[in-house]
């Protein structure tokens, strides 16, 4: 077996040192009736690298990859061009095969990256501090709700109807077991999000208002007015960003009054990967930092006065405070955070603005072309790089028929909201710098064919 | 809080304690210092070529636009590659040598797995693509799920949890949902004192009260104490097996039977599955739920702290409550993803969704490649060699370091030592830092909490005997120095990129983001621009 | 003013119906460098034996149990910027919070200085 260095001679020498006759003697504490006599029946035996690669390639070949066809899917996962240097750098063994930086003297590479990452995220979001990342956007969103509960000592969160339904479902699962209450709005097919209804739902019991920005339909809520209304009731504003590239164009949520900003960081540096691993972004105001979940990296000095970095404020975390910890999270999304940070470093703030601008450019072109199709309208009055179109019939079927024509045309609202019949004709269309004029024309042509 | 960086330190300044750097740059040959990107980069620099837009911003978007671009400097590609490559060299890694962190299972990461995960058919597939276009991706999930249930002897598996602690949460929520379905509200989960911190944190996160179960003198769960505590308010137990003292819980089946008889469920922390994979099936021991850290047992890379992946295998009693979505194999061989749309009638007892999308696919492909490479025979050998290596370390060092449970018999995949016998004023931390100077990553220290000054060594099966002998020789040398009170050890590490870091200052006055450009008294960055 | 001690190494100094609470020098020496103190807010009701306050060091978070019941009148604001006062001056400037006692009779179960010193000597 190519990954196992010990040979039989060495095993025998080691057993002699141990004072055991056979390896099986080392398993003496396992009750005999539970010990397996040999390899589990019915499972394949070991295989060569070539054989495994062939098997996996066959499975990979059964999937329609985004890069191989005109592609317009978004809804919380976005296809961007990841520079080749990003993937090269994250495969350096010193990053790929290192562990959580518990011994900071020999983990300054990871730690400095985390410090840089935290600074990038905080600046992108317009908040004071950000942590070293969470599992993904949806779990970061629940953590923000839980944190707002700790800060305000209230247990009722108001969730905007524009919040991604998977994020709502994740929060609902947790709230059901923790006893928190969620006031969940229903998405309305309107050109603009109903900020007034959201504001009306805030009262003196509200811990936080959770608003996606841009929302799941690609519309842009007025965060400043929601923040003002929340703060007037002693509630926090939690802003959720599923497409961080959009923040190259629209104002940072923290600048508009958001107290906690969370998001999905996959857009930068991390491929689609069928949904994971992604990385949760989590930032907030300084004064809440001791209520934050997750790892934090901080600057300090070593015994010789040289700058260095360590994991800090660890007493918030499970390995120290156990059942009183701010969260049970243990890992972060280290390697994905590295990829995000490298991509962000290559872009810089102005590069990010240009990236957002080009995605918007393609979205405008796509919206203009699609509305020329009879029976197809664009819902949004404003959007960045994702918008909702209303089709003349159920978008779920249309999406499948488009796929039959080798076009991945978008995400149907019926897939996201199977119970909401009034949304069934909605289709989310996302673009990016990867979207070409030819892709837009191919989508429009295929859609014309499907709807004809 | 978040004060501007206090030090204003720059690599060329060298050490502060009257020992100026021997070089003008602050670098020493291959020992390379590296500034922050904020000190290196320039506003407006971009290492990516981006096309110019053809249209203006839509007028209705005008009121939402940012006042200015994010204050983030950029680097050209050569600068960026150099920055991260230089930083990487300040990290220890499994590619450089043994990484014997107990409970963490730092084993070799085969590069085939990286290659496979990057195949376009896996890496470049959208989670909400129509199911007809992702049959291979769903097939990977189903195939891995089959392996995990077969290897554990369990009825089902929830694939979506994103890491071990998330898997624990999944298992605990299944227990909670099962109790709800029985119309019961049991509030207490029993957790051994030797448990990972995630166990009590998870139980509390899910709304349970936690009570500790004591350990016996030989390092195992006190069965009598556990049985005495069982009752109608106890939802179940969370047990780690093999446990965090490196021992197999011999009474696991009796524990499970007692818990079941009292109406509770048994959660097993599967962090240590590497010791028994292919040798024992947890399902045969009466376990109801166990998470599997794919990044431990099945070698998906740790990546400096994640991402992880934590599928949870479930007994027949708990499987109906597993979260959405899940993959179902159809009669015609096609795969179907059961989401909210179908879940309401096909999985009415499911407790719901734990996260967006369907799990850590990039980890599934790597883990499946690892499993297929080893096969049923190779996986059993993994456990055997991991246990053999740990016992070799234990017996080679039991005369040099106190091994509190050495008399309890063979250990499983990790060897536990304590600080007993070290010279006055010398601690486990000193031993760990001494190992750094020897060129090794230290073992897990101060865990489990039930042993004073614990040192938990997990060599894993991918260390050769020669590599182990070198590690043992170094640890023996450091242990002797600590027993003899060698003052040089208190200052270790001497040869690492940094000496001991001031963690007290970091926690008292946290500096969590760079703000050098916002401070009037900041030392002007050199070499930028 | 009388000062009492607990077996959990808190001290309480009583001035009529008011009392000041802190941790002992022995306690701070065991905890190591204090990095942060989580203090109760004024107006909080505390019950003897419950933990309204947490003292953090780098690797530990330790509950501080109230030696008596009452209402918090004030917390030591200086600790926000200088948590190290709990290390350097635990039994004076590093006090934690003040209480208006609800049941002064609870104090009779506590140790005086001599008894506490003997208790620590026996540890």
Question: Do the Cβ atoms of B504 and C36 come within 8 Å?
Answer: no
Residue C99 scores a pLDDT above 50:
yes
Domain assignment present for residue C77? The answer is yes
Question: Do the Cβ atoms of B507 and C35 come within 8 Å?
Answer: yes
What pLDDT does B520 receive? 45
> How confident is the prediction for chain B on average, in pLDDT?
92
Domain count along chain C: 1
Q: What is the mean pLDDT of residues B229-247?
A: 94
> How far is A108 from chain C, CA to nearest CA, in Å?
19
| C38–chain B Cβ distance below 8 A for any pair | no
A385 and A251 belong to one structural domain: no
A390 and A325 belong to one structural domain: no
Domain assignment present for residue A426? The answer is yes
Full residue range of the structural domain in which residue B225 is found: 113-123+133-367
Domain assignment present for residue B173? The answer is yes
Question: Do the Cβ atoms of B374 and A1 come within 8 Å?
Answer: yes
Full residue range of the structural domain in which residue A170 is found: 84-343
B325 and B430 belong to one structural domain: no
Question: Do the Cβ atoms of C36 and A315 come within 8 Å?
Answer: yes
What pLDDT does B319 receive? 97
CATH number at A255 reads 3.40.640.10
A379 and A443 belong to one structural domain: yes
Structure confidence at residue B205 as a pLDDT band (50, 70, 90): confident
| C83–chain B Cβ distance below 8 A for any pair | yes
B233 and B325 belong to one structural domain: yes
Positions of chain A with pLDDT under 50: none
Full residue range of the structural domain in which residue C52 is found: 3-102
> How far is A204 from chain C, CA to nearest CA, in Å?
20
> How far is A434 from chain B, CA to nearest CA, in Å?
11
ipTM summary value: 0.97
B192 and B324 belong to one structural domain: yes
Q: What percent of chain B has pLDDT over 90?
A: 84
Question: Do the Cβ atoms of B339 and A23 come within 8 Å?
Answer: no
Residue of A nearest to B444 (CA): A102
What pLDDT does B5 receive? 53
Q: What is the pLDDT of residues C109-123, one digit of tens each?
A: 999 999 999 999 998
What pLDDT does B19 receive? 56
What pLDDT does B480 receive? 97
Question: Do the Cβ atoms of B69 and A173 come within 8 Å?
Answer: no
Residue B74 scores a pLDDT above 90:
yes
What pLDDT does B17 receive? 54
CATH number at C64 reads 2.40.50.100
What pLDDT does B217 receive? 87
Domain assignment present for residue C116? The answer is no
Residue B133 scores a pLDDT above 80:
yes
B390 and B299 belong to one structural domain: no
Residue B525 scores a pLDDT above 70:
no
Q: What is the pLDDT of residues B451-479, one digit of tens each?
A: 999 999 999 999 999 999 999 999 999 99
Question: Do the Cβ atoms of A290 and C58 come within 8 Å?
Answer: no
Q: Among partner residues B104, B305, B323, which is closest to A101 by beta-carbon distance?
A: B305
Domain count along chain B: 2
Question: Do the Cβ atoms of B19 and A304 come within 8 Å?
Answer: yes
A429 and A302 belong to one structural domain: no
Contacts of A324 in chain C (CB under 8 A): 61
What pLDDT does B20 receive? 57
Domain count along chain A: 2
Structure confidence at residue B8 as a pLDDT band (50, 70, 90): low
Residue B2 scores a pLDDT above 80:
no
From A343, A363, A383, the end of a domain falls on A343
Contact partners for chain B, using 3 or more CB pairs closer than 8 A, are A, C
Contact partners for chain A, using 3 or more CB pairs closer than 8 A, are B, C
B247 and B363 belong to one structural domain: yes
Question: Do the Cβ atoms of B354 and A328 come within 8 Å?
Answer: no
B349 and B440 belong to one structural domain: no
Residue of A nearest to C54 (CA): A315
> How far is C114 from chain A, CA to nearest CA, in Å?
34
Residue of B nearest to A43 (CA): B376
Contacts of C36 in chain A (CB under 8 A): 290, 313, 315
Structure confidence at residue B7 as a pLDDT band (50, 70, 90): low
From A343, A377, A397, the end of a domain falls on A343
3-state SS of chain A is: CCCCCCCHHHHHHHHHHHCCCCHHHHHCCCCHHHECCCCCCCCCECCCHHHHHHHHHHHHCCECCHHHCCECCCCCCCCCCCCHHHHHHHCCHHHHCCCCCCCHHHEHHHHHHHHHHHHHHHHHHCCCEECCCECCHHHHHHHHHHHHHHHHCCCEEEECCCCCHHHHHHHHHHHHHHCCEEEECCCCCCCCCCHHHHHHCCCCCEEEEEEECCCCCCCCCCHHHHHHHHHHCCCEEEEEECCHHHHHCECCHHHHCCCEEEEECCCCCCCCHHHCCCCEEEEECHHHHHHCCCCCEEEEEECCCCEEEEECCHHHCHHHHHHHCCCCCCCCCHHHHHHHHHHHHHHHHHHHHHHHHHHHHHHHHHHHHHCCCCCCEECCCCCCCEEEEECCCCHHHHHHHHHHCCCECCEEHHHHCCCCHHHCCEEEEECCCCCCHHHHHHHHHHHHHHHC
What pLDDT does B21 receive? 62
């Amino acid at each position: 077996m190519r990954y196992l260095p010990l040979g039989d001679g060495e095993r025998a020498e080691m057993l002699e040192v141990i004072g055991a006759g056979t390896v099986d003697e080392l398993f003496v504490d396992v009750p005999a009736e539970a010990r397996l006599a040999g390899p589990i029946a019915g499972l394949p035996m070991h295989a060569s690298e070539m054989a495994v690669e062939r098997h996996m390639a066959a499975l990979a070949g059964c999937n329609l990859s985004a890069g191989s066809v005109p592609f317009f899917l978004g809804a919380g996962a976005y296809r961007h061009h990841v520079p080749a240097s990003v993937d090269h750098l994250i495969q350096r063994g010193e990053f790929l095969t290192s562990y959580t930086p518990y011994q900071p003297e020999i983990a300054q590479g990871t730690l400095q990256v985390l410090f840089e990452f935290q600074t990038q995220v905080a600046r992108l979001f317009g908040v004071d501090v950000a942590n070293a990342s969470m599992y993904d956007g949806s779990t970061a969103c629940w953590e923000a709700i839980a944190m707002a509960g700790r800060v305000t000592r209230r247990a009722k969160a108001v969730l905007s109807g524009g919040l991604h339904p998977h994020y709502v479902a994740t929060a609902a699962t947790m709230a059901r077991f923790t006893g928190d209450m969620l006031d969940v709005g229903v998405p309305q097919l309107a050109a603009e999000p109903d900020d007034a209804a959201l504001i009306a739902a805030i009262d003196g019991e509200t811990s936080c208002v959770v608003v996606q920005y841009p929302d799941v339909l690609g519309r842009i809520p007025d965060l400043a007015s929601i923040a003002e209304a929340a703060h007037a009731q002693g509630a926090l504003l939690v802003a959720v960003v599923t497409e961080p590239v959009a923040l190259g164009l629209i104002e940072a949520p923290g600048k508009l009054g958001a107290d906690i900003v969370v998001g999905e960081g996959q857009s930068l540096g991390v491929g689609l990967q069928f949904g994971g691993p992604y990385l949760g972004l989590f930032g907030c105001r300084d004064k809440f930092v001791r209520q934050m979940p997750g790892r934090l990296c901080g600057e300090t000095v070593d015994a010789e006065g040289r700058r260095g970095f360590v994991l800090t404020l660890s007493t918030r975390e499970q390995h120290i405070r156990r059942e009183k910890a701010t969260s049970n999270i243990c890992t972060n999304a280290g390697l994905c955070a590295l990829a995000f940070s490298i991509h962000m470093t290559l872009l810089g703030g102005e590069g990010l603005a240009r990236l957002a601008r080009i995605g918007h450019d393609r979205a405008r072109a796509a919206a203009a072309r699609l509305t020329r199709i009879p029976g197809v309208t664009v819902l949004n009055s404003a959007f960045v790089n994702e918008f909702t179109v209303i089709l003349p019939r159920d978008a779920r079927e249309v999406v499948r028929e488009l796929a039959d024509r080798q076009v991945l045309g978008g995400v149907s609202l019926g897939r996201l909201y199977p119970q909401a019949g009034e949304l069934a004709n909605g289709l989310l269309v996302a673009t990016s710098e990867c979207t070409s004029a030819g892709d837009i024309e191919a989508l429009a042509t295929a859609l014309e064919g499907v709807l004809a | 809080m978040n004060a501007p960086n206090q030090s204003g330190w720059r690599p060329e300044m060298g050490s502060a304690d009257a020992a100026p750097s021997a070089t003008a740059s602050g670098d020493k040959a291959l020992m390379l210092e590296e500034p922050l990107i904020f000190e290196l980069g320039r506003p407006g620099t971009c290492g990516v070529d981006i096309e110019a837009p053809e249209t203006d911003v839509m007028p209705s978007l005008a009121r939402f636009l940012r006042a200015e671009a994010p204050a983030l400097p950029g680097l050209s590609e050569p600068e960026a590659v150099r920055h991260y490559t230089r930083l990487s060299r300040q990290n220890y890694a499994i590619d450089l040598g043994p990484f014997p962190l107990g409970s963490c299972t730092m084993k070799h990461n085969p590069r085939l797995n990286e290659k496979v995960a990057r195949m376009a058919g896996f890496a470049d597939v959208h989670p909400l693509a129509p199911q007809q276009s992702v049959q291979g991706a769903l097939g990977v999930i189903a195939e891995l799920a089959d392996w995990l249930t077969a290897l554990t002897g369990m009825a089902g598996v929830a694939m979506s949890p994103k890491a071990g602690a998330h898997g624990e949460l999944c298992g605990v929520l299944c227990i909670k949902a099962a109790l709800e379905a029985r119309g019961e509200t049991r509030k207490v989960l029993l957790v051994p004192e030797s448990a990972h911190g995630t166990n009590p944190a998870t139980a509390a996160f899910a709304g349970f009260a936690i009570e500790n179960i004591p350990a016996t003198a030989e390092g195992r769960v006190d069965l009598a104490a556990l049985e005495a505590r069982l009752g109608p308010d106890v939802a179940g137990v969370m047990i780690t097996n093999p446990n965090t003292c490196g021992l197999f819980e011999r009474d696991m089946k009796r524990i499970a039977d007692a818990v079941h008889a009292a109406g509770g469920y048994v959660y097993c922390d599967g962090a240590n599955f590497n010791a028994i994979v292919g040798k024992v099936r947890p399902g045969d021991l009466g376990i109801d739920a166990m998470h599997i850290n794919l990044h431990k047992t099945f070698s998906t890379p740790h990546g400096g702290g994640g991402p992880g992946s934590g599928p949870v295998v479930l007994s027949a009693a708990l499987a109906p409550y597993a979260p959405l979505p899940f993959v179902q194999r159809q009669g015609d061989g096609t795969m179907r993803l059961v989401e909210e749309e179908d879940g309401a009638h096909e999985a009415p007892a499911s407790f719901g969704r734990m996260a967006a999308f369907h799990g850590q696919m990039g980890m599934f492909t790597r883990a499946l490649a690892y499993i297929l490479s080893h096969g049923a025979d190779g996986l059993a050998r993994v456990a055997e060699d991991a246990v053999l290596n740990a016992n070799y370390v234990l017996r080679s060092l039991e005369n040099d370091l106190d091994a509190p449970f050495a008399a309890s018999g063979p250990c499983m995949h990790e060897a536990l030592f304590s600080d007993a016998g070290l010279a006055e004023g010398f601690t486990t931390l000193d031993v760990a830092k001494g190992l750094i100077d020897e060129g090794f990553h230290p073992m897990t220290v101060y865990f489990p909490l039930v042993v004073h000054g614990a040192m938990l060594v997990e060599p894993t099966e991918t260390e050769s005997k020669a590599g182990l002998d070198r590690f043992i020789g170094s640890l023996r040398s450091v242990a002797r120095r600590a027993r003899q009170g060698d003052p040089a050890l208190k200052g270790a590490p001497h040869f690492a990129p940094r000496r001991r870091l001031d963690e007290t200052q970091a926690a008292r006055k946290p500096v969590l983001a760079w703000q050098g450009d916002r401070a009037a008294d900041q030392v002007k960055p050199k070499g930028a621009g | 003013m009388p000062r009492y001690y607990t077996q959990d190494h808190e001290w309480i100094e009583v001035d009529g119906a008011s009392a000041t609470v802190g941790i002992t020098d022995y306690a701070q020496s065991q905890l190591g460098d204090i990095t942060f103190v989580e203090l109760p807010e004024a107006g909080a009701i505390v019950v003897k034996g419950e933990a309204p306050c947490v003292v953090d060091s780098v690797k530990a978070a330790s509950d501080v149990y109230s030696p008596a019941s009452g209402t918090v009148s004030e917390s030591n604001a200086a600790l926000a910027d200088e948590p190290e006062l709990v290390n350097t001056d635990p039994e004076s400037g590093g006090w934690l919070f003040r209480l208006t006692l609800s049941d002064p009779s609870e104090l009779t179960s506590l140790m005086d200085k001599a008894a506490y010193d003997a208790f620590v000597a026996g540890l």
